[in-house]
Amino acid sequence: MQAILAKNLLAPMDQNLVYAKTPIGDEAVRQSTRVVQRNLRMLLVQVDGKLTVAELGTKLGNPKMVERSLQELEEGGYIAPTLEAVSVWQESRLRVDRLKTAAASGASILGSTLMVSDSRDPSSSFSTFGKPLLPARDYRQTPETPLPEPLASTPRLSRLVLLLAGLSGFVLLTVAVLLLFPYVRFKPDIEAELARIWRAPVSVGDVRLGLLPQPSLLLSDVRIGKGGESAIDKIRVLQPYSLLGSERYNLPRVEISGGKILTEHLIGFSDSGEARAKSASKAILKSVTFDHVSVAAGELIFGELAGKASIDDGGRIEKVSLQTVDRSLRIEARPGTEGMLLDVEGVGWRPTETSALTLDSLQAKALLTKDKLLVQSFDTHALGGVLRGSALVDWSGGLVIAADANLERLDARKVSVHFAPALELEGELMGVLRLQGSGTNWQALWANVDATFEASVLRGVLLGVDLGEAARRGPGAPVRAGTTKFDRLNVKLKIDPRQVVGRDLFINAGLFTATGNFVATRDRQVDGNLMASMQTSASLRTIPLKVSGTLPNLQAVSLR
């Protein structure tokens, strides 16, 4: 055998011979580790079943090296002449079938030395599948010594399928555990912790797990107070796994959405009194976000608020930032010794949803307690001018309001449209307003308001009566409708639930002036007495006038 191999190595190679890769050679090209010698691997890649030996030698530039390498690759079972390559691939398929049959019968193929004889020479011990991973270098190996068989291995595709199947099973199992876990077992602890936080009885309707948009523990229909006065639609606890396996729960973020919270419960939430300090907290809150939440201060409701509350390590609120959905009102609150200190800013804000009055801008500082709102100062641009002052709203027993305000350069027409629609007055309004009122709701409060208003109107017009014409016509000649233009109008108004009383009325219209008093009832009836003075070129005439009628149409008549 050794002589035959040596002869093959020394004999010249047919230059017209064409080689093709065997199954082992095809696999070796895909796995670079199977042929580590650079020249052999380079030549194995070039063997394509089309190029002759001469063409390969010319292409690589070293015919002798090509011939030696081709012989080594052929001896290693990586290539075969094209006429024999087909039979080699067929034998490969047959061998695979036999391996499958042996595996089904329980026979182990590990370490197998199954050999398939070379079809070209029945006496040859050369095997296409029995060659080592590297080309054979020891030609003294005898036929009786079986060449090692590569170990059988699981295909990569099968391993990937098993890995994906295992991963999918783990995910499904995890989701099933999360969904089926009895989270309701946390309900008593959650209610107790919420009661400690809000400092009021709390009941939770349902506790369940939500997966979207991210895993969270959902608390729905949360009621605060003995009668459930505050109602929250949903409380979402992010990172619910923090509730497992710990005596203290670290809750980085809690979301409160929908519902109405009374100020007394909001104050209880921010309070850090002795009762809270002595109670042991099971939850460590870091931040609370609010979305579409209303705050009820008696009959006054600030609706559709959104924002965030930051909480210190002691469980006390550091700061609350809230704003309306349209961002027309922004509130920043900080805990104080007596309540929540508020900084309020507004742009284009309406005090109520049904109100036609819009505040162009608002800045205020206030103190909020559980049943009072003390506005220490406010500065607002509205009704074409500026209002500055302070106010108190108390809802501890019904609804009570008290306010002082200085008015500067307000549009008298806009003021009358909102507060006295039957009075048609134009000009620049200013003065000092003090009011107080009480009632069961806002409508009742405004109906029962008592106020004093020291008002001045500059460069204005009173529509509905012409006082100058009535003074010129003489006694007994009534004047209906018309207008009275003036440079300045001063009056002291006393407003109560029944009527408006005007005292110390003074009208200056150049050569015409008038002083007097009047009374206007709630049903718009006016009764007034004026003393008019008209300056002529010769003398000063004084004429008493009687003004009466129903706003906005009045009549004036001279009494002499």
Q: How far apart are CA 264 and CA 541, in angstroms?
A: 65
Q: How far apart are CA 107 and CA 129, in angstroms?
A: 19
Helices (H), 131-272: 156-180, 187-198, 263-270
**Residue 255, token pair as written in the block:** 């979301």
pLDDT of 230 reads 86
Q: How far apart are CA 412 and CA 155, in angstroms?
A: 91
Q: Say how many C-beta atoms besides its own lie within 10 A of residue 20's C-beta.
A: 20
Cα–Cα nearest to 110, from 155, 152, 153, 156: 152
Q: Say how many C-beta atoms besides its own lie within 10 A of residue 540's C-beta.
A: 10
pLDDT of 126 reads 35
Distance of CA 321 to the CA centre of its chain: 15
**Residue pair 241/209 in contact by the 8 Å Cβ criterion:** no
Crossing angle of helices 53-60 and 38-46, rounded to 10°: 130
pLDDT values of the chain reduced to their tens digit, one per residue, 560 residues: 444 444 444 467 788 888 888 888 877 877 765 555 777 878 888 888 788 888 888 888 888 888 888 888 888 888 888 766 556 666 665 655 665 555 455 434 334 333 333 434 433 333 333 344 444 344 334 444 444 444 444 455 666 777 777 777 666 655 555 555 556 666 777 777 777 777 788 888 887 777 666 667 788 888 888 888 888 888 887 765 555 555 555 566 778 888 888 888 877 766 544 444 444 455 556 678 888 888 887 777 777 888 888 877 666 777 888 888 888 889 998 888 888 899 999 998 887 777 778 889 999 999 988 888 899 999 999 999 999 999 999 988 888 899 999 999 999 999 988 888 888 899 999 999 999 988 887 778 878 889 999 999 999 999 988 998 888 887 888 888 889 999 999 999 999 988 999 999 999 998 899 999 999 998 889 999 999 998 877 778 888 999 999 888 889 998 86
Bridging pattern class, strands 249-251 and 283-285? parallel
Distance of CA 230 to the CA centre of its chain: 24
- What's the Cα-to-Cα distance from 161 to each of 11, 104, 156, 157, 165, rounded to whole Å? 51, 21, 9, 6, 6
φ, ψ dihedrals at 124, nearest 5°: -80, 140
Q: Say how many C-beta atoms besides its own lie within 10 A of residue 180's C-beta.
A: 9
Long-range contacts (CB closer than 8 Å, 24 or more residues apart) made by 277-281: 279/196, 281/193, 281/196, 281/248, 281/315
Q: Say how many C-beta atoms besides its own lie within 10 A of residue 38's C-beta.
A: 8
Q: Say how many C-beta atoms besides its own lie within 10 A of residue 518's C-beta.
A: 19
* Length of the chain, in residues: 560
**Residue pair 557/477 in contact by the 8 Å Cβ criterion:** yes
pLDDT of 211 reads 67
Cα–Cα nearest to 190, from 264, 129, 251: 251
pLDDT of 119 reads 39
- What's the Cα-to-Cα distance from 326 to each of 207, 214, 304, 313, rounded to whole Å? 32, 27, 9, 33
DSSP designation for 242:
G
What single letter denotes the amino acid at residue 527?
A: D
**Residue pair 34/133 in contact by the 8 Å Cβ criterion:** yes
Q: How far apart are CA 170 and CA 163, in angstroms?
A: 11
Q: 504 — alpha (psi -120 to 50), left (phi > 0) or beta?
A: left
Rounded-to-5 percentages of helix, strand, coil across the chain: 25, 45, 30
> What residues have CB less than 8 Å from 226, skipping those under 6 apart?
200, 201
Q: How far apart are CA 233 and CA 256, in angstroms?
A: 8
pLDDT of 149 reads 46
pLDDT of 272 reads 47
Q: How far apart are CA 530 and CA 470, in angstroms?
A: 11
pLDDT of 177 reads 52
- What's the Cα-to-Cα distance from 396 to each of 84, 264, 438, rounded to whole Å? 105, 10, 12
**Residue 207, token pair as written in the block:** 């506790």
Q: Check whether the bond before 552 is cis (ω within 30° of 0).
A: yes
Q: Check whether the bond before 213 is cis (ω within 30° of 0).
A: yes
Extents of the domains making up the chain = 1-152, 180-325, 404-558
Name the burial class of residue 550, with classes exposed (0-12), middle (13-18) and buried (19+) by CB atoms within 10 angstroms of its CB.
Answer: middle
Cα–Cα nearest to 81, from 117, 51, 43: 51
**Residue 83, token pair as written in the block:** 């006429």
